[in-house]
Every structure is written in C-alpha cells, then in structure tokens.
A and B are shown apart, each in its own frame.
Chain A
C-alpha cells in the first residue's frame, strides 16, 4: 500500500501557485471519496523512489561525475589518458519499482563521462563482461580501425587508441547490431573533449536524455535525464544564485526521432556540439535529434524551484520532468564511488541468460 503523500507531494506546497492551495490536501480529499476541487500539479508523478544502492549509482552523483582517466606523460610531452570500460548485464531500476534488463558500461547507465583535453592521446581498454558481443564507438575524429564497428565477443578485450579531436561535446556508444537494441539497453556515455584553453569556471552538469522501452514493443515507457524517471523532480538539483551553470546535454533517446530541453523562467546560451566557443543562440527551448548534443550555459537571477523538462509534453509526463532548486548558497551534490574502489563492480548485476 502506497500513500499518496509521497516526497513529491511535498513539492506541491512550493510549486503550486498560492491560489491553488486549499486548506485540505487534494489527495486526502480523493482518499475520503469526496470530490476533489483540483488535482495537484505534481500528481503527474511516479510512486515511490528508486534504490540507488541496488542500482550502484545515484542520479544526483552522475551529474558531476567526470572520469579524467589515468594520466601519464608520453615521451613527446603529450598527455596520455587511460580509461577502462567494462560492459556488463545488469538489472537497473529505471523508475521506482520497475526493473529493466540493461547492458551497461562500468555498472551504470549512462556509462562514465570520459573527459580529456583536445590533443591528448586516449587509450580505452574495453573488456566485454556481458553475455553478448559489444563494442565502443566514439564520436569525434579518429582512424577507421578505432571506430568501434567490430563487435568484441563476450569475455574478450580490445584497446581503442586515438587522439582527442576536435574539442566539443561528444558521446560514445555500442555499435554492435542490432544497433537499436544495443543502444537502447544502456550502452552509451558522454565523451567531453575540452578546448586547449578551458571554458570559464562554471557549475558543470552532465545530462543524458534517455528512455526505456520496458515491454520491448518499440516505444518507450519511461523518459528521463540520466536514466531514472522523475528523479530530479523528486530530488531537485541544487543551484547557487547567479552562478554560471554549464549543462552538457546529450540526446541518446531511441525510438523517438527528437527530444528537447526547456528551461523555466530563464534563457540559456547554446553551443551546438560544443565545437565552438561562441554561442549560437540564446533561447529557452532546444530540440535535439537522436545523437545530437549541445552545451547550454545560464545563470539563475531569482531563487526558488524551477522546472526543466522536455517540451515534448508526452516525454515530460512519462518521466523527463526535473527541478532546479536555486538558493543563495547552493549545495554540494553526492559523489560517485570511483569504479576501481568497488570490490565487485557487478555485485548487483544479474547475468541474464536467454534472449533479453
């Protein structure tokens, strides 16, 4: 039995306009069988909360988790960054109580955010610990044999090595066929190549717009940023007043051609694909096709709770609905445990046999 007065209902008090607030709680009206005068804004919500421990990742921690790799200097003076990506089979809770048989990189969906600077030498060791063949295909400029089209069989290893170019916001994903299923089940992550001259200091957040087709009928049941539907609506992202915020926004949604991002009560600068340092646009809504990604920059002038969500209303109501909580001081976000610290990275994983 679940109570209607979940954590999301608490948000109602701060979100609903004063005129909409009534002395009696709308949901308790429903419960007693009386006619409700209105339905809470946050009634469009999933019930309960996900178990971050079981999932092995906290969506709040994913926002600011960057993997810079193991850094060494090459004889020619260039920086070498070495990363490890391990593919695995994992059941993840993509919405409260809903388990999805995912394929993941490093036990999380999206995979780790690989970050480097333009001109670095990158060496990515890919270990396929999944029951199916997989690969890693990076966006960016690199030789054909490093393009990740060749499927690496279960239990085998492959090392991708190339130079980081051009600077911008890229992504990586599995390119094994059937492609749609390999991507949609969770094999993707963000790949950030910083410009040689760093961008201005900012509060940087990684947001991967993704979706899940839980009944495998070719249409998504849940939409989100960073996997868990409605997570940032239930747990608003803290922001500091007037602080520059930079969002690395990537769209990896399958089945739907486009996704979008809309910011409430504000406007943002758009750096398309992050490949230029001059903004292309100043807007509050931007559309991204499958695989498109942009860097967004903005500051909040007023404190309070502000929504951001897909302006595709259907996606918003199916989980891609989030909140910023802007305060004078902001707050620190939880951090991810580093991958190597985990004794058993797939301790919570269940090897799924069969067709899934």
Chain B
C-alpha cells in the first residue's frame, strides 16, 4: 500500500485510502449495476422460446428388497426437471418419488417402484420428464443391495484387508532382500518403483475419468478430476517444505508413497465395494486374488527408499496400515453409500498424491546417481522402469473382470 500512497503529504492519506478502496470496489459496483440492468431488461435478447434444457443423471439403482427398485437421481441441468413417468424394461411402472417430482437445479430425488426384478438379470430404468425427454440407466446385474449389518461390515472389511493391507504387507517383507542389493540394484528398484507408480497414476486417473463421466456434468467432469489431482499434488509438494528447502527424509518419503498408494487403494476399494454391491463383480474370489497379486508390488515401492535406513518394526506396520487399510474404508463407502462424485474425488486425490511421490522418488534417484556419478538414464534404470510398468500391467489383467 505504501507504494500507492501520495508522496505530497500525509493529510491526504485517508482520502487515498478511501480512493483505493473505491477503485477496488468500483468493478464490483459496476457489476451490480450491470446485473440490475440485466434482471430488469432481460438482456434485450428477447424471451427464451426454446424448451428448457433438461439434464437428469441416474446416480444409482438399488434393490433393498424383493419386488422393489430404488432409483436415485440428480438434476445437473440449468432448469428444474419434473419427472412425469418412469419405465422399467420398456414398461410404464407405478412409482413414488420423494421429496418432490419436480427436482430443482442440483437437487436430488428418490424414486421407489414396486418392480419384480429378476436375480442376475439386467434391468433398464428410463425416466420421462414433462417434456417427453428420456433419461435411462442400466442396472448391469440385479442382486439384492446389501444393507449395513455387522456381518456385511465385517465381510467388506475382510475384502479390503485382502486387496489392500495383506498384499502391501507381503510386499514390505522383501525389505531385507532389497537391503542386500548393491547400489546399482538400488537404482533398479527405485526406477521399478517409479514404473509401478506411473502405472498407478495413469490407472487412477483413467478410473477417475470413467467414474466422473457418469456424474451430472454440472459437477465439472474431467476438469474437476484434473484440477483436484493438480491441487492434491501441489499441496503435498508444499507439505514439509515450509521452513527448509530440503526434500523430505527417506522415511518421510516412504510415508508419502504409502499415503499415495493408500489413496489409490481407497479408490480401488470404492470400485470393488460398488461392484460387489451392484452385483457386477460376480467373479468374487478370482477378483480378490487378482487384486492381491496386483497390489503386492506396492509394498516394494514403499520399502524402496528405506534401504539405507533401519526403521523400527512399528514404522513398517504404520506404512502397511497407511497404504493398505484405506482399501477397507473404500470398500465400505463403495458398498454402502456409493457416490460417484465422491469416488471420483478420492481417485483424483490419489492421483495427485501418486504424481507427487513419482517426483520425490525421481529426485531420490537423481541424487543417488549424482552421488555415484552414474548416468541417470542408464539401461538398468530404464529396465527397472519398464519392469515396474510391465508387472503392474500384467497383474492388472487379472483384475479386469
């Protein structure tokens, strides 16, 4: 503010101050005037003659009991939408809608139909609005939606432990082997870690894009995912670097990798929980085995920066928990309160965290090659990277149901 003060004298300061405030407020005042003009004169573009633009998204179809279908919808369009009729499998069906058949912008409604759905068969729900516009959503495989009971909570937790905590812990058990590798072996392991993290980044982003595509466009779609990824990555970069410019310690780095992988596993858990709840993951056991094999490599990634340290056992348990247990939370959320926007946000956060640890591990690799005066892009390093991506790709084949 001092640069803007009038140099000629102190008495004018209050006036300048007010003037500065005025110039800061002027655009806002003018904006207010403009809005008032627009509201009173209707922009002068003439009356809107086109029919309203309707945009209804069916978020989820649940089957809480036999002979009942529950459809959750969100209005993501600029105008209110009135649900006139509902079809199930090309047949008009009686329904109840709460709270109101007219859904305001950004509002949601729940439609309940007494429909005799058939176990293991697909069903198509189509909503017809007052203007005759249709919005359809396919329920891939009909199966009763699990309710929250001690049994299902326990079973889902077990599922999360199988796909998250156990494989990460098993991977960490390679730590003694990793320690015995020489310096060049270490380079390979770090680059392998980068390879698998790059795979997870691409995979998580792709999954987030897939999920967000099914949500109401008003929430931002793919740009929301990318922005959240960037912000998440940027936030983690600034974390721990406030006072000093030095990069995080190796143990800190391991925790960061664990956090990134944990968020990724949370996203994976969401997908698995939702798939189990909606019946589309009928492969059950095979899918669980696939995820276990797929995620075992994640443990190596977490252990990789620690090979020159002697961390306590507690740290290993902590790392495994941070990376693996979010999968349990994910399965719970995905299975019981599946929310597509929330899922996409978690995945985007995970992608950002993974991008950040890729940078950190890359920096570690760079420092190490500087210390050793070895080329950064050696054949061994490149080979490790390709192996990391390759292992993840190959094991991912097991989980594409």
A10 CB–B CB distance under 8 Å: no
B66 CB–A CB distance under 8 Å: yes
Please report whether the interface of chain B is mostly helix, strand, loop or mixed according to DSSP.
Answer: loop
- How many A residues face the partner with a CB closer than 8 A? 45
Closest CB in chain B relative to A255 CB, distance in Å: 14
Chain A positions 1 through 45: 1 when the CB is less than 8 Å from some CB of chain B, otherwise 0: 111101011000000000000000011001101111111101111
Specify which of A39, A42, A99 is in contact with B67 (CB 8 Å cutoff): A39
Residue of A at shortest CB range from B92?
A46
Judge whether B96 and A4 touch: CB under 8 Å: yes
Of the candidates B65, B94, B133, B134, the one having the most CB atoms from chain A within 10 angstroms of its own CB is: B94
Judge whether A36 and B92 touch: CB under 8 Å: no
Known: A353-B49, A354-B49. A30 touches B91 (CB 8 A): no
Judge whether A27 and B114 touch: CB under 8 Å: yes
Closest CB in chain B relative to A187 CB, distance in Å: 18
The interface stretch among A90-98, A113-121, A303-311, A334-342 is A90-98
Chain A positions 84 through 105: 1 when the CB is less than 8 Å from some CB of chain B, otherwise 0: 0000000000011111100000
B68 CB–A CB distance under 8 Å: yes
B275 CB–A CB distance under 8 Å: no
The CA-CA distance from A46 to B91 in the complex, in Å, is 9
Known: A4-B96, A36-B67, A318-B92. A221 touches B101 (CB 8 A): no
Query: CB-CB < 8 A to B131: which residues of A?
Result: 98-99, 214
Query: CB-CB < 8 A to B311: which residues of A?
Result: none
A47 CB–B CB distance under 8 Å: yes
Judge whether B115 and A43 touch: CB under 8 Å: yes
B182 CB–A CB distance under 8 Å: no
Closest CB in chain A relative to B94 CB, distance in Å: 5
Closest CB in chain A relative to B5 CB, distance in Å: 59
The CA-CA distance from A39 to B91 in the complex, in Å, is 14
- How many B residues face the partner with a CB closer than 8 A? 36
A192 CB–B CB distance under 8 Å: no
Residue of A at shortest CB range from B133?
A215
Judge whether B134 and A214 touch: CB under 8 Å: yes
The interface stretch among B79-87, B169-177, B374-382 is B79-87
Residue of B at shortest CB range from A37?
B67
Residue of A at shortest CB range from B144?
A35
Judge whether A221 and B96 touch: CB under 8 Å: no
Closest CB in chain B relative to A315 CB, distance in Å: 10
B43 CB–A CB distance under 8 Å: no
Known: A35-B65, A354-B49. A2 touches B93 (CB 8 A): no
Please report whether the interface of chain A is mostly helix, strand, loop or mixed according to DSSP.
Answer: loop
Query: CB-CB < 8 A to B134: which residues of A?
Result: 214-215, 217, 221
The CA-CA distance from A26 to B115 in the complex, in Å, is 11
Specify which of A6, A100, A353 is in contact with B132 (CB 8 Å cutoff): A100
Closest CB in chain A relative to B161 CB, distance in Å: 32
A229 CB–B CB distance under 8 Å: yes
Judge whether B84 and A95 touch: CB under 8 Å: yes
Specify which of B92, B94, B97, B130 is in contact with A317 (CB 8 Å cutoff): B92
Known: A4-B114, A97-B82, A98-B84. A43 touches B93 (CB 8 A): yes
Judge whether A1 and B99 touch: CB under 8 Å: yes
Judge whether B50 and A97 touch: CB under 8 Å: no
Judge whether B90 and A317 touch: CB under 8 Å: yes
Chain A positions 208 through 233: 1 when the CB is less than 8 Å from some CB of chain B, otherwise 0: 00001011010001000000011000
The CA-CA distance from A8 to B94 in the complex, in Å, is 10
B337 CB–A CB distance under 8 Å: no
Residue of A at shortest CB range from B131?
A99
The CA-CA distance from A6 to B100 in the complex, in Å, is 17
Judge whether A39 and B101 touch: CB under 8 Å: no
Chain A positions 293 through 308: 1 when the CB is less than 8 Å from some CB of chain B, otherwise 0: 0000000000000000
A319 CB–B CB distance under 8 Å: yes
Of the candidates B85, B95, B128, the one having the most CB atoms from chain A within 10 angstroms of its own CB is: B85
Residue of A at shortest CB range from B83?
A97
Query: CB-CB < 8 A to B91: which residues of A?
Result: 44, 314, 317-318
Known: A46-B92, A47-B85, A354-B50. A2 touches B101 (CB 8 A): yes
B284 CB–A CB distance under 8 Å: no
Judge whether A45 and B90 touch: CB under 8 Å: no
Known: A98-B130, A215-B133. A44 touches B84 (CB 8 A): no
Which residues of chain A from 31 to 68 have a CB within 8 Å of any chain B CB?
31, 33-40, 42-47
B12 CB–A CB distance under 8 Å: no
B339 CB–A CB distance under 8 Å: no
Residue of B at shortest CB range from A317?
B91
Query: CB-CB < 8 A to B101: which residues of A?
Result: 1-2, 97
Query: CB-CB < 8 A to B49: which residues of A?
Result: 353-354
Residue of A at shortest CB range from B101?
A2
Specify which of B94, B130, B132 is in contact with A43 (CB 8 Å cutoff): B94
Closest CB in chain B relative to A48 CB, distance in Å: 8
B98 CB–A CB distance under 8 Å: yes
The CA-CA distance from A341 to B86 in the complex, in Å, is 38
Closest CB in chain B relative to A232 CB, distance in Å: 14
The CA-CA distance from A26 to B113 in the complex, in Å, is 11
Judge whether A230 and B128 touch: CB under 8 Å: no
Residue of B at shortest CB range from A217?
B134
Chain B positions 64 through 77: 1 when the CB is less than 8 Å from some CB of chain A, otherwise 0: 11111000000000
Query: CB-CB < 8 A to A33: which residues of B?
Result: 64-65, 68
Specify which of B90, B112, B133 is in contact with A318 (CB 8 Å cutoff): B90
B116 CB–A CB distance under 8 Å: yes
Judge whether B97 and A27 touch: CB under 8 Å: no
- 7 closest residue pairs by CB, A with B: A214-B132, A317-B91, A97-B84, A36-B67, A30-B114, A35-B65, A98-B84
A-B contact pairs, 7 of them (CB 8 A): A1-B96, A2-B96, A27-B114, A39-B116, A46-B85, A95-B85, A317-B92
Which residue numbers of A lie inside 8 Å of B, CB to CB?
A: 1-4, 6, 8-9, 26-27, 30-31, 33-40, 42-47, 95-100, 212, 214-215, 217, 221, 229-230, 314, 317-319, 353-354, 356
Q: A37-B67, A39-B115, A215-B134 are in contact. List 18 more A-B contacts (CB 8 A).
A: A2-B95, A4-B95, A8-B94, A26-B114, A30-B114, A33-B68, A34-B65, A36-B65, A36-B66, A95-B128, A96-B84, A97-B85, A98-B132, A215-B132, A215-B133, A221-B128, A314-B91, A318-B87
